[in-house]
Structure 1
Amino acid sequence: MIYIQTKSKEDWKQFLAEPDKQWKDGYSAKSLATCWQGANGIPKKVKQVFANTHCIELKDVEMLFGIPEYKVVLPRGRASQNDLFVLARTNKEIFPIMVEGKVNESFGPLVGEWIIKMSDGKKERLEYLCKLLNLTNRNIDNIRYQLLHRTASAIITANKYHCNTAMLLIHSFSPLNKSFKDYSDFINLYNLEAQLDGIIGPVILNGVRVYWGWVKDEV
Protein backbone atom coordinates (compact mmCIF):
# COMPACT_ATOMS: atom_id res chain seq x y z
CA MET A 1 0.00 0.00 0.00
CA ILE A 2 1.35 3.42 -0.97
CA TYR A 3 0.05 6.56 0.68
CA ILE A 4 0.20 10.13 -0.60
CA GLN A 5 1.09 12.90 1.82
CA THR A 6 -1.73 15.31 2.70
CA LYS A 7 -1.20 19.01 2.00
CA SER A 8 -4.24 20.41 3.79
CA LYS A 9 -7.11 19.28 5.97
CA GLU A 10 -9.32 19.11 2.87
CA ASP A 11 -7.27 16.13 1.66
CA TRP A 12 -8.72 14.08 4.53
CA LYS A 13 -12.30 14.36 3.22
CA GLN A 14 -11.81 11.92 0.33
CA PHE A 15 -11.11 9.02 2.69
CA LEU A 16 -14.36 9.27 4.65
CA ALA A 17 -17.01 6.59 4.28
CA GLU A 18 -19.70 9.27 3.76
CA PRO A 19 -17.87 12.53 2.91
CA ASP A 20 -20.94 14.68 2.24
CA LYS A 21 -22.49 13.65 5.54
CA GLN A 22 -19.40 13.60 7.77
CA TRP A 23 -17.35 16.57 6.52
CA LYS A 24 -19.06 19.46 8.32
CA ASP A 25 -18.08 22.12 10.82
CA GLY A 26 -18.71 20.87 14.34
CA TYR A 27 -18.36 17.21 13.35
CA SER A 28 -15.51 15.04 14.53
CA ALA A 29 -13.98 14.28 11.11
CA LYS A 30 -13.37 17.91 10.20
CA SER A 31 -12.42 18.87 13.76
CA LEU A 32 -9.81 16.13 13.96
CA ALA A 33 -8.38 16.94 10.54
CA THR A 34 -8.15 20.64 11.39
CA CYS A 35 -6.35 19.94 14.65
CA TRP A 36 -3.84 17.30 13.49
CA GLN A 37 -3.08 18.69 10.03
CA GLY A 38 -2.55 22.15 11.46
CA ALA A 39 -0.25 20.85 14.18
CA ASN A 40 2.17 19.23 11.73
CA GLY A 41 2.69 16.49 14.28
CA ILE A 42 1.09 15.77 17.63
CA PRO A 43 -1.28 18.63 18.60
CA LYS A 44 -0.31 20.80 21.57
CA LYS A 45 -3.05 19.58 23.94
CA VAL A 46 -2.34 15.93 23.15
CA LYS A 47 1.39 16.43 23.77
CA GLN A 48 0.55 18.11 27.08
CA VAL A 49 -1.46 15.09 28.22
CA PHE A 50 1.41 12.77 27.30
CA ALA A 51 3.90 15.01 29.11
CA ASN A 52 1.78 14.97 32.28
CA THR A 53 1.03 11.25 32.33
CA HIS A 54 2.12 9.00 35.18
CA CYS A 55 3.08 6.47 32.48
CA ILE A 56 6.75 7.43 32.40
CA GLU A 57 7.43 5.29 29.34
CA LEU A 58 5.06 7.45 27.23
CA LYS A 59 6.13 10.95 28.26
CA ASP A 60 8.49 11.79 25.39
CA VAL A 61 6.29 10.72 22.51
CA GLU A 62 6.78 11.87 18.93
CA MET A 63 4.78 11.27 15.76
CA LEU A 64 6.52 9.51 12.89
CA PHE A 65 3.56 9.60 10.50
CA GLY A 66 -0.23 9.48 10.45
CA ILE A 67 -2.76 7.89 8.11
CA PRO A 68 -6.34 9.23 8.11
CA GLU A 69 -9.27 6.81 7.97
CA TYR A 70 -7.06 3.77 8.47
CA LYS A 71 -8.86 0.46 7.93
CA VAL A 72 -8.09 -2.62 10.02
CA VAL A 73 -9.51 -5.89 8.76
CA LEU A 74 -11.71 -7.87 11.14
CA PRO A 75 -13.42 -11.24 10.59
CA ARG A 76 -16.75 -11.33 8.76
CA GLY A 77 -17.82 -7.88 7.68
CA ARG A 78 -16.51 -4.37 7.24
CA ALA A 79 -13.10 -3.29 8.42
CA SER A 80 -12.78 -0.99 11.41
CA GLN A 81 -12.18 2.43 9.86
CA ASN A 82 -10.13 4.36 12.41
CA ASP A 83 -10.18 8.15 12.22
CA LEU A 84 -6.39 8.38 12.39
CA PHE A 85 -3.55 5.88 12.73
CA VAL A 86 -0.46 7.46 14.23
CA LEU A 87 2.83 5.59 14.33
CA ALA A 88 4.52 7.08 17.37
CA ARG A 89 7.91 6.70 19.00
CA THR A 90 9.49 7.21 22.37
CA ASN A 91 13.16 6.93 23.20
CA LYS A 92 12.65 3.17 23.63
CA GLU A 93 10.15 1.95 21.05
CA ILE A 94 7.66 2.65 18.27
CA PHE A 95 3.98 1.88 18.66
CA PRO A 96 0.57 2.52 17.05
CA ILE A 97 -1.98 4.99 18.36
CA MET A 98 -5.50 4.73 17.00
CA VAL A 99 -7.07 8.17 17.36
CA GLU A 100 -10.84 8.41 17.55
CA GLY A 101 -12.27 11.91 17.17
CA LYS A 102 -15.50 12.82 18.91
CA VAL A 103 -17.76 15.83 19.24
CA ASN A 104 -21.41 14.86 19.68
CA GLU A 105 -21.15 11.45 18.02
CA SER A 106 -21.54 8.29 20.07
CA PHE A 107 -19.33 5.21 20.09
CA GLY A 108 -21.93 3.37 18.05
CA PRO A 109 -24.65 1.01 19.29
CA LEU A 110 -24.48 -0.86 22.55
CA VAL A 111 -23.31 -4.43 22.07
CA GLY A 112 -26.70 -5.59 23.38
CA GLU A 113 -28.39 -3.64 20.57
CA TRP A 114 -25.88 -4.71 17.93
CA ILE A 115 -26.49 -8.41 18.56
CA ILE A 116 -30.31 -8.29 18.52
CA LYS A 117 -30.22 -9.78 15.03
CA MET A 118 -27.34 -12.17 15.66
CA SER A 119 -26.08 -13.57 12.36
CA ASP A 120 -23.30 -16.13 12.08
CA GLY A 121 -21.00 -13.34 10.91
CA LYS A 122 -21.77 -11.15 13.91
CA LYS A 123 -21.30 -14.07 16.28
CA GLU A 124 -17.92 -14.93 14.80
CA ARG A 125 -16.77 -11.29 14.90
CA LEU A 126 -17.90 -10.74 18.49
CA GLU A 127 -16.24 -13.96 19.66
CA TYR A 128 -13.03 -12.85 17.96
CA LEU A 129 -13.12 -9.41 19.59
CA CYS A 130 -13.91 -10.81 23.03
CA LYS A 131 -11.04 -13.29 22.82
CA LEU A 132 -8.61 -10.62 21.64
CA LEU A 133 -9.73 -8.20 24.37
CA ASN A 134 -9.92 -10.85 27.11
CA LEU A 135 -13.64 -10.27 27.56
CA THR A 136 -14.95 -13.78 26.88
CA ASN A 137 -17.79 -14.67 29.29
CA ARG A 138 -18.04 -11.04 30.45
CA ASN A 139 -21.33 -9.15 30.28
CA ILE A 140 -20.68 -6.43 27.71
CA ASP A 141 -24.28 -5.74 26.62
CA ASN A 142 -24.05 -2.12 27.85
CA ILE A 143 -20.66 -1.44 26.26
CA ARG A 144 -20.47 0.58 23.04
CA TYR A 145 -19.47 -1.66 20.16
CA GLN A 146 -17.08 0.84 18.57
CA LEU A 147 -14.84 0.84 21.64
CA LEU A 148 -14.29 -2.89 21.16
CA HIS A 149 -13.15 -2.79 17.56
CA ARG A 150 -11.16 0.43 17.89
CA THR A 151 -9.16 -1.08 20.76
CA ALA A 152 -8.81 -4.28 18.76
CA SER A 153 -7.50 -2.21 15.82
CA ALA A 154 -4.67 -0.88 17.96
CA ILE A 155 -3.72 -4.38 19.13
CA ILE A 156 -3.91 -5.92 15.66
CA THR A 157 -1.75 -3.14 14.23
CA ALA A 158 0.79 -3.56 17.04
CA ASN A 159 0.98 -7.29 16.30
CA LYS A 160 1.36 -6.58 12.58
CA TYR A 161 4.37 -4.31 13.11
CA HIS A 162 5.86 -6.36 15.97
CA CYS A 163 5.26 -3.59 18.52
CA ASN A 164 4.94 -4.31 22.23
CA THR A 165 2.68 -1.32 22.95
CA ALA A 166 -0.59 0.04 21.53
CA MET A 167 -3.00 2.81 22.42
CA LEU A 168 -6.54 3.95 21.73
CA LEU A 169 -6.72 7.73 22.11
CA ILE A 170 -10.06 9.55 22.22
CA HIS A 171 -9.57 13.11 21.00
CA SER A 172 -12.73 14.88 22.11
CA PHE A 173 -13.90 18.30 21.00
CA SER A 174 -17.06 18.18 23.09
CA PRO A 175 -17.34 20.95 25.74
CA LEU A 176 -19.64 18.64 27.71
CA ASN A 177 -17.40 15.56 27.44
CA LYS A 178 -20.14 13.71 25.60
CA SER A 179 -19.67 9.91 25.58
CA PHE A 180 -17.09 10.00 28.37
CA LYS A 181 -19.43 7.84 30.49
CA ASP A 182 -19.48 5.17 27.77
CA TYR A 183 -15.70 5.30 27.57
CA SER A 184 -15.50 4.99 31.36
CA ASP A 185 -17.83 1.96 31.38
CA PHE A 186 -15.54 0.22 28.90
CA ILE A 187 -12.39 1.07 30.86
CA ASN A 188 -14.00 -0.28 34.04
CA LEU A 189 -14.03 -3.74 32.47
CA TYR A 190 -10.27 -3.77 33.12
CA ASN A 191 -10.59 -2.44 36.68
CA LEU A 192 -9.25 0.93 35.56
CA GLU A 193 -10.66 4.39 36.24
CA ALA A 194 -11.08 6.62 33.20
CA GLN A 195 -9.51 10.07 33.36
CA LEU A 196 -10.29 13.28 31.53
CA ASP A 197 -7.07 14.52 29.96
CA GLY A 198 -5.30 11.40 31.12
CA ILE A 199 -3.69 8.17 29.97
CA ILE A 200 -4.34 4.90 31.76
CA GLY A 201 -2.95 1.39 31.57
CA PRO A 202 -1.28 -0.73 30.59
CA VAL A 203 -3.30 -3.92 30.34
CA ILE A 204 -1.68 -6.88 28.60
CA LEU A 205 -3.94 -8.05 25.78
CA ASN A 206 -2.81 -10.57 23.18
CA GLY A 207 0.78 -10.00 24.27
CA VAL A 208 0.56 -6.20 23.85
CA ARG A 209 0.70 -3.49 26.53
CA VAL A 210 -2.49 -1.54 25.85
CA TYR A 211 -3.11 2.04 27.00
CA TRP A 212 -6.15 4.27 26.64
CA GLY A 213 -6.34 8.05 26.72
CA TRP A 214 -8.92 10.83 26.63
CA VAL A 215 -7.96 14.34 25.54
CA LYS A 216 -10.41 17.22 25.76
CA ASP A 217 -9.52 19.88 23.20
CA GLU A 218 -10.77 22.77 21.10
CA VAL A 219 -10.53 23.09 17.33
Structure 2
Amino acid sequence: MKRICIPSSGAASWQALLADPVKHWRTGYSARTLAQCWEAADGLPAEVAALFGSDAELLIAIPEHKVSLRDAGRESQTDIFALIKADNRTIATAVEGKVNETFGPLIKDWFAEPSPGKQQRLKFLCDLIGVRCPPPDNLHYQLFHRTASAILEAERFKTDDAAMIVHSFSPENKWFDAYAAFVQLFGIIARPGELAGKPMRDGRTMYFGWASGDPQYLSM
Protein backbone atom coordinates (compact mmCIF):
# COMPACT_ATOMS: atom_id res chain seq x y z
CA MET A 1 0.00 0.00 0.00
CA LYS A 2 1.41 3.36 -1.05
CA ARG A 3 1.83 5.95 1.71
CA ILE A 4 1.94 8.99 -0.57
CA CYS A 5 -1.32 10.27 -2.09
CA ILE A 6 -1.27 12.53 -5.14
CA PRO A 7 -3.96 15.28 -5.29
CA SER A 8 -6.74 14.58 -7.76
CA SER A 9 -7.07 16.60 -10.97
CA GLY A 10 -10.66 15.42 -11.53
CA ALA A 11 -12.78 12.28 -11.72
CA ALA A 12 -10.55 10.77 -14.42
CA SER A 13 -7.70 10.61 -11.89
CA TRP A 14 -9.56 7.84 -10.09
CA GLN A 15 -9.58 5.46 -13.05
CA ALA A 16 -5.95 4.35 -12.78
CA LEU A 17 -6.51 3.31 -9.16
CA LEU A 18 -9.07 0.63 -10.05
CA ALA A 19 -8.24 -3.07 -10.04
CA ASP A 20 -9.30 -3.14 -13.72
CA PRO A 21 -9.19 0.46 -15.04
CA VAL A 22 -10.94 -0.49 -18.31
CA LYS A 23 -13.66 -2.87 -17.14
CA HIS A 24 -14.61 -0.96 -13.99
CA TRP A 25 -14.61 2.56 -15.46
CA ARG A 26 -17.98 2.59 -17.21
CA THR A 27 -20.75 5.18 -17.39
CA GLY A 28 -23.61 4.22 -15.10
CA TYR A 29 -21.48 1.97 -12.89
CA SER A 30 -20.44 2.63 -9.33
CA ALA A 31 -16.73 3.53 -9.68
CA ARG A 32 -17.21 6.24 -12.28
CA THR A 33 -20.48 7.51 -10.80
CA LEU A 34 -18.98 7.81 -7.32
CA ALA A 35 -15.94 9.68 -8.66
CA GLN A 36 -18.07 12.16 -10.61
CA CYS A 37 -20.26 12.84 -7.58
CA TRP A 38 -17.49 13.34 -5.03
CA GLU A 39 -15.39 15.47 -7.37
CA ALA A 40 -18.37 17.71 -8.13
CA ALA A 41 -19.09 18.14 -4.42
CA ASP A 42 -15.54 19.28 -3.63
CA GLY A 43 -16.21 18.10 -0.10
CA LEU A 44 -18.95 15.85 1.20
CA PRO A 45 -21.84 15.19 -1.20
CA ALA A 46 -24.99 16.66 0.35
CA GLU A 47 -26.63 13.28 0.96
CA VAL A 48 -23.54 11.98 2.79
CA ALA A 49 -23.15 15.18 4.81
CA ALA A 50 -26.81 14.91 5.83
CA LEU A 51 -26.09 11.59 7.55
CA PHE A 52 -23.58 13.20 9.89
CA GLY A 53 -25.29 16.50 10.65
CA SER A 54 -25.25 20.15 9.65
CA ASP A 55 -21.63 20.73 10.65
CA ALA A 56 -20.18 17.70 8.85
CA GLU A 57 -16.89 18.44 7.09
CA LEU A 58 -14.68 16.35 4.83
CA LEU A 59 -11.07 16.51 6.02
CA ILE A 60 -9.60 14.17 3.39
CA ALA A 61 -10.81 11.52 0.96
CA ILE A 62 -8.66 8.76 -0.54
CA PRO A 63 -10.13 6.82 -3.48
CA GLU A 64 -9.56 3.05 -3.76
CA HIS A 65 -7.87 2.92 -0.37
CA LYS A 66 -6.36 -0.46 0.54
CA VAL A 67 -6.50 -1.64 4.14
CA SER A 68 -4.51 -4.62 5.38
CA LEU A 69 -6.60 -7.14 7.30
CA ARG A 70 -3.52 -8.26 9.24
CA ASP A 71 -2.98 -11.52 7.41
CA ALA A 72 -1.38 -12.76 4.20
CA GLY A 73 -4.63 -12.45 2.22
CA ARG A 74 -5.89 -9.72 -0.07
CA GLU A 75 -6.38 -6.25 1.33
CA SER A 76 -9.81 -4.65 1.60
CA GLN A 77 -9.99 -2.05 -1.17
CA THR A 78 -12.41 0.65 -0.03
CA ASP A 79 -14.01 2.76 -2.76
CA ILE A 80 -13.35 5.89 -0.69
CA PHE A 81 -11.72 6.23 2.69
CA ALA A 82 -12.74 9.55 4.24
CA LEU A 83 -11.87 11.36 7.42
CA ILE A 84 -14.99 13.27 8.42
CA LYS A 85 -15.39 15.79 11.21
CA ALA A 86 -18.84 16.20 12.77
CA ASP A 87 -20.00 17.40 16.17
CA ASN A 88 -16.36 18.01 17.09
CA ARG A 89 -15.48 14.33 16.53
CA THR A 90 -13.43 12.74 13.77
CA ILE A 91 -14.79 9.66 12.03
CA ALA A 92 -12.81 7.16 9.95
CA THR A 93 -15.26 6.34 7.17
CA ALA A 94 -15.28 3.54 4.61
CA VAL A 95 -17.55 4.48 1.70
CA GLU A 96 -18.88 1.73 -0.55
CA GLY A 97 -20.29 2.97 -3.86
CA LYS A 98 -23.16 1.10 -5.46
CA VAL A 99 -25.46 1.31 -8.45
CA ASN A 100 -26.78 -2.11 -9.45
CA GLU A 101 -23.73 -4.20 -8.53
CA THR A 102 -24.08 -6.74 -5.73
CA PHE A 103 -22.10 -6.78 -2.51
CA GLY A 104 -20.21 -9.79 -3.85
CA PRO A 105 -20.35 -13.38 -2.55
CA LEU A 106 -22.39 -14.47 0.41
CA ILE A 107 -20.58 -15.92 3.41
CA LYS A 108 -21.88 -19.38 2.48
CA ASP A 109 -20.20 -19.15 -0.93
CA TRP A 110 -16.99 -17.41 0.16
CA PHE A 111 -16.61 -19.90 3.03
CA ALA A 112 -17.72 -22.98 1.09
CA GLU A 113 -14.17 -24.37 1.25
CA PRO A 114 -12.92 -23.00 4.57
CA SER A 115 -9.14 -23.06 4.24
CA PRO A 116 -7.10 -22.27 7.37
CA GLY A 117 -6.49 -18.79 5.94
CA LYS A 118 -10.22 -18.14 5.47
CA GLN A 119 -11.02 -19.51 8.92
CA GLN A 120 -8.43 -17.18 10.44
CA ARG A 121 -9.68 -14.18 8.49
CA LEU A 122 -13.36 -14.72 9.24
CA LYS A 123 -12.68 -15.11 12.95
CA PHE A 124 -10.56 -11.96 12.92
CA LEU A 125 -13.26 -9.95 11.12
CA CYS A 126 -16.04 -11.17 13.40
CA ASP A 127 -14.01 -10.54 16.57
CA LEU A 128 -13.05 -7.07 15.37
CA ILE A 129 -16.56 -5.93 14.50
CA GLY A 130 -18.07 -7.67 17.51
CA VAL A 131 -20.30 -10.41 16.09
CA ARG A 132 -20.37 -14.16 16.59
CA CYS A 133 -18.33 -16.45 14.36
CA PRO A 134 -19.35 -18.00 12.10
CA PRO A 135 -21.94 -15.37 11.20
CA PRO A 136 -25.20 -16.08 9.33
CA ASP A 137 -24.25 -17.49 5.95
CA ASN A 138 -26.79 -15.43 3.98
CA LEU A 139 -24.89 -12.17 4.57
CA HIS A 140 -22.38 -10.64 2.17
CA TYR A 141 -18.68 -11.07 2.96
CA GLN A 142 -17.81 -7.65 1.53
CA LEU A 143 -19.78 -5.86 4.23
CA PHE A 144 -17.75 -7.62 6.93
CA HIS A 145 -14.33 -6.61 5.62
CA ARG A 146 -15.47 -3.12 4.66
CA THR A 147 -16.73 -2.52 8.21
CA ALA A 148 -13.51 -3.97 9.60
CA SER A 149 -11.43 -1.65 7.43
CA ALA A 150 -13.19 1.38 8.94
CA ILE A 151 -12.43 0.13 12.46
CA LEU A 152 -8.81 -0.64 11.62
CA GLU A 153 -8.28 2.81 10.15
CA ALA A 154 -10.00 4.40 13.15
CA GLU A 155 -7.39 2.68 15.30
CA ARG A 156 -4.54 3.66 13.01
CA PHE A 157 -5.54 7.32 12.69
CA LYS A 158 -6.74 7.48 16.31
CA THR A 159 -10.12 8.91 15.34
CA ASP A 160 -13.02 9.20 17.77
CA ASP A 161 -15.37 6.91 15.82
CA ALA A 162 -15.71 4.82 12.67
CA ALA A 163 -18.37 4.51 9.96
CA MET A 164 -19.29 2.32 7.01
CA ILE A 165 -21.45 4.15 4.49
CA VAL A 166 -23.09 2.75 1.37
CA HIS A 167 -23.40 5.54 -1.20
CA SER A 168 -26.01 4.17 -3.59
CA PHE A 169 -27.04 5.65 -6.92
CA SER A 170 -29.66 3.00 -7.63
CA PRO A 171 -33.08 4.66 -8.13
CA GLU A 172 -34.65 1.53 -6.59
CA ASN A 173 -32.17 1.32 -3.70
CA LYS A 174 -31.10 -2.04 -5.08
CA TRP A 175 -29.38 -4.29 -2.52
CA PHE A 176 -30.64 -2.21 0.40
CA ASP A 177 -32.16 -5.38 1.87
CA ALA A 178 -28.71 -7.01 1.92
CA TYR A 179 -27.28 -4.00 3.75
CA ALA A 180 -30.22 -3.97 6.19
CA ALA A 181 -29.74 -7.66 6.97
CA PHE A 182 -26.08 -7.04 7.75
CA VAL A 183 -26.59 -4.10 10.11
CA GLN A 184 -29.31 -6.06 11.91
CA LEU A 185 -26.41 -8.08 13.35
CA PHE A 186 -25.72 -5.00 15.47
CA GLY A 187 -29.33 -4.55 16.53
CA ILE A 188 -29.81 -1.73 14.03
CA ILE A 189 -32.93 -1.20 11.93
CA ALA A 190 -31.68 0.31 8.66
CA ARG A 191 -33.44 3.17 6.93
CA PRO A 192 -32.20 5.05 3.84
CA GLY A 193 -30.84 8.47 4.69
CA GLU A 194 -30.30 7.68 8.38
CA LEU A 195 -27.13 7.11 10.40
CA ALA A 196 -27.25 4.57 13.23
CA GLY A 197 -24.49 3.66 15.64
CA LYS A 198 -23.37 0.77 17.81
CA PRO A 199 -20.92 1.27 20.73
CA MET A 200 -17.78 -0.83 20.33
CA ARG A 201 -15.59 -2.44 22.99
CA ASP A 202 -12.82 0.11 22.44
CA GLY A 203 -15.11 3.02 23.38
CA ARG A 204 -15.70 4.20 19.82
CA THR A 205 -19.06 4.15 18.09
CA MET A 206 -19.35 2.26 14.81
CA TYR A 207 -21.82 4.04 12.52
CA PHE A 208 -23.71 2.68 9.54
CA GLY A 209 -25.59 4.65 6.90
CA TRP A 210 -27.16 4.41 3.45
CA ALA A 211 -26.94 7.60 1.37
CA SER A 212 -28.96 7.90 -1.84
CA GLY A 213 -26.93 9.69 -4.51
CA ASP A 214 -28.05 12.12 -7.19
CA PRO A 215 -28.94 10.13 -10.35
CA GLN A 216 -27.51 12.86 -12.60
CA TYR A 217 -24.06 11.33 -12.11
CA LEU A 218 -25.15 8.04 -13.66
CA SER A 219 -24.87 9.57 -17.13
CA MET A 220 -21.50 11.28 -16.71
Give TM-score, length-normalised by structure 2. Answer: 0.92
User: Is 2:179 the partner of 1:183?
Assistant: yes
Match of 2:18 in 1: 16
1:114-143 deviation per Cα after TM superposition (whole angstroms, max 9, x unaligned): 011111111110010011111124542111
1:202 is displaced (CA, Å) by 2.9
User: Is 2:67 the partner of 1:68?
Assistant: no
Measure the CA separation in 1 of the matches of 2:75 and 2:48. Answer: 26
Q: Secondary structure at the match of 2:209?
A: strand
Q: Which amino acid in structure 1 is aligned with residue 31 of structure 2? A: A
Q: Is contact 1:70–1:84 with CA below 8 Å preserved after alignment?
A: yes
Identity of aligned residues (%): 42
Picking from 146, 160, 165, the partner of 2:142 is 146
Q: Is contact 2:29–2:99 with CA below 8 Å preserved after alignment?
A: yes
Measure the CA separation in 1 of the matches of 2:211 and 2:187. Answer: 20
After the TM superposition, which parts of structure 1 deviate over 6 Å for at least 4 consecutive aligned residues? none
1:132-175 deviation per Cα after TM superposition (whole angstroms, max 9, x unaligned): 11112454211100000000000000001112200001100001
Q: Secondary structure at the match of 2:22?
A: helix
Moved more, 180-189 or 89-98: 89-98
How does 1:14-163 map onto structure 2 within 5 Å? Answer: 14-51=16-53, 59-74=54-69, 75-137=71-133, 139-163=135-159
Q: Is contact 2:95–2:166 with CA below 8 Å preserved after alignment?
A: yes
Measure the CA separation in 2 of the matches of 1:140 and 1:195. Answer: 21
1:158-195 deviation per Cα after TM superposition (whole angstroms, max 9, x unaligned): 00111220000110000111110000000111111001
Give TM-score, length-normalised by structure 1. Answer: 0.92
Q: Secondary structure at the match of 1:105?
A: coil
Q: Secondary structure at the match of 1:21?
A: coil
Unmatched tracts of structure 1, length 5 or more = 52-58
Q: CA RMSD in A?
A: 1.3
Q: Is contact 1:190–1:203 with CA below 8 Å preserved after alignment?
A: no
**Pairs aligned (count):** 212
Unmatched tracts of structure 2, length 5 or more = none
